Amino acid sequence: MLKLYGRATSSNVQAVLWALQELGQNCERIDVGGKFGGLDTPEFRAMNPHGHIPVLLHDKTPAIFESGAILRYLGAVFGAAPFWPADPAERAQVDKWAEWAKIEVANNFTRPVFWRVVRTPPARHDKPAIRAAVDRLERELALADRQLAQSSFLAGDALSLADIPLGHILYRYFDIDIDRRDLPHLRAYYQRLTERPAYRDTVMISYDSLRNTI
């Protein structure tokens, strides 16, 4: 049995939920974090001493934290090529893009851009800082745009684990009130993602509860 700890409005939780649906796996999700609290309890800290979501439990496997580690675990247990190839060389072609997307895209979007635009009250918006953060983010997104000019998805012509760390932030990136560069291949890729039921169910959900919360 799969059990996932984390609120549905967490982008990192959404990445795991999206992957689970793409892999045809059901899970029980437990609301913790944000308005639900629970991250400082002894029980939760025993699963993740850092006090962050998501955390995955699966049968007798010790608790797994960090969304990237969870995604790789799910790919190894439930996935196959092209989503998560068994061959190390082929898998590395997927994994390199997944690692890049987590470090260079998701991390450059969530706090530097999304938190400043959505979670910070408008009266406290630092517009120069937001513009600089968007510019840094879009320098990385331009790399994806070039890659997506060659293939339908980030690591080839089929969805793979590489698309999860990139794709799960694009709904918010294209939805929030910012000026965006013209990245036509990235936008077409995002449109393809929006046609996937698993993406709509897990990623394209309201984030209004996060507005003006910091």
C-alpha pair distances (Å), 114 with each of 52, 73, 110, 163: 18, 28, 5, 20
Beta strands in the chain (DSSP E): 2-5, 28-30, 55-58, 61-65
CATH classification code of 88-203: 1.20.1050.10
Averaged pLDDT of the chain: 97
* pLDDT tier, 59 (very low <50, low <70, confident <90, very high otherwise): very high
Beta strands in 52-149 (DSSP E): 55-58, 61-65
pLDDT computed for residue 71 by the predictor: 98
Q: Per residue in 42-61, is it b (16+ CB within 10 Å) or e — as a string?
A: eebeebbeebbbbbbbbeee
pLDDT computed for residue 185 by the predictor: 98
pLDDT computed for residue 5 by the predictor: 98
| pLDDT, tens digit, 9 for 90 and up, residues 88-126 | 999 999 999 999 999 999 999 999 999 999 999 999 999
| pLDDT, tens digit, 9 for 90 and up, residues 116-165 | 999 999 999 999 999 999 999 999 999 999 999 999 999 999 999 999 99
CATH classification code of 2-78: 3.40.30.10
C-alpha pair distances (Å), 54 with each of 48, 74, 120, 129, 201: 9, 13, 23, 29, 18
**Residue 121: both structure tokens together:** 């009250």
pLDDT computed for residue 86 by the predictor: 96
pLDDT computed for residue 30 by the predictor: 98
| pLDDT, tens digit, 9 for 90 and up, residues 171-209 | 999 999 999 999 999 999 999 999 999 999 999 999 999
* pLDDT tier, 29 (very low <50, low <70, confident <90, very high otherwise): very high
C-alpha pair distances (Å), 169 with each of 21, 46, 107, 153: 17, 29, 10, 15
What whole-number percentage of the chain has pLDDT above 90? 100
Domain locations in the chain as residue ranges: 2-78, 88-203
pLDDT computed for residue 70 by the predictor: 98
